[in-house]
């Protein structure tokens, strides 16, 4: 099944995507907090090394994934669905 573009979705589908995105953002926040804990632990136990760089890269990827969220919110505001 192909994934539709956001502009092709109906109002109901847009609201469902917004709900999914909200739960995904909560999960991302939990993961980012855990990864920051791993970074702090690895710095305290040893020093900055590979075990510190991997969580930093993952945090970057999680933050970078938020572009789709802003596009979805913008489209919902344009259609005045909130």
Compute mean pLDDT per 10 residues along the chain, 82 residues long, and list them: 64 81 84 88 79 82 71 79 68
Q: What is the pLDDT of residue 3?
A: 54
* Domain containing residue 55: 46-82
Number of domains comprising the chain: 1
Q: Is residue 75 part of a domain?
A: yes
Note whether 59 and 32 are within 8 A (CB): yes
Note whether 25 and 67 are within 8 A (CB): no
Q: What is the pLDDT of residue 1?
A: 30
Q: Is residue 67 part of a domain?
A: yes
Core vs surface per residue 53-74: b (16+ CB within 10 A) or e:
eebeeebeebeeeeeeeeebee
pTM confidence score: 0.66
């Amino acid at each position: 099944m192909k994934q539709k573009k956001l502009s092709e979705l109906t109002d109901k589908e847009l609201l469902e995507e917004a709900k999914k995105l909200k739960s995904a953002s909560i999960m991302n926040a939990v993961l980012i907090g855990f990864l920051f804990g791993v970074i702090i632990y690895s710095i305290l136990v040893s020093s900055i090394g590979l075990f510190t760089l991997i969580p930093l890269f993952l945090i970057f990827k999680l933050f970078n994934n938020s572009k789709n969220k802003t596009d979805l919110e913008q489209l919902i505001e344009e259609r005045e669905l909130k």
